[in-house]
Amino acid sequence: MEARKLLLAAGLSALAGVAGAQQFYGDKKYGEFYEEEKRWTEAESKLPEFPSEQNLIEFDAGAASRNRYYVDGPSLNAGEDGVVRYVLVAVASGGARNLSFEGIRCSTRERKLYAFGRPDNTWSKARNPEWQSIRHGSYQAVLSKEYFCPGGAAIFKAEEGISALRSGGHPQAK
């Protein structure tokens, strides 16, 4: 009987030792979630210089629009956060021009408007700069698929995007 009590006590102390050996970090046991999903954070972006005519690169936005679309080459930026930022100039058939500073997040197929150009060559920050899904058939969809996000991945350098715009599309998008 005494041997049983000793054996039971040894077993209980062994279980207590195992339970006490588990380490907790925050609300999770160590090793419970080996690879946690990293949270994406957007890099801060500064407003670019106002575009000049000689730096505009026209691209084909498809048959859905009669407007002409241009990207300002010097403003194109492939951010470390996976966002491709650029200045867009849209010219209507009647000659009206709209300028905007925008970004495309390739991994989620979203777009964001940061600012709009004013007639006095200054920027007006967007009132509600939120990420929104890219609409099918929009110029952002064309920029994303054909130029800045081949295969869904963002370009690595601005020069890669400029080359794609000048040649009519990214070589990996075809």
- pLDDT at 85 (0 to 100): 97
Q: What is the pLDDT of residue 160?
A: 95
Provide the domain limits for residue 18: 1-174
Q: Which residues of the chain have pLDDT under 70?
A: 1-37, 174
> What tens digit of pLDDT does each residue of 121-153 get?
999 999 988 999 999 999 999 999 999 999 889
Structure tokens at 166: 């000048």
| Separation CA 83–CA 111 (nearest Å) | 9
pLDDT of residue 49: 94
Model's pTM, two decimal places?
0.76
Structure tokens at 31: 């090793």
Which pLDDT score, from 0 to 100, does residue 44 have? Answer: 85
Q: How far is CA 114 from the centre of its chain?
A: 13
pLDDT confidence of residue 32: 56
- Strand 28-29 to 24-25 pairing: antiparallel
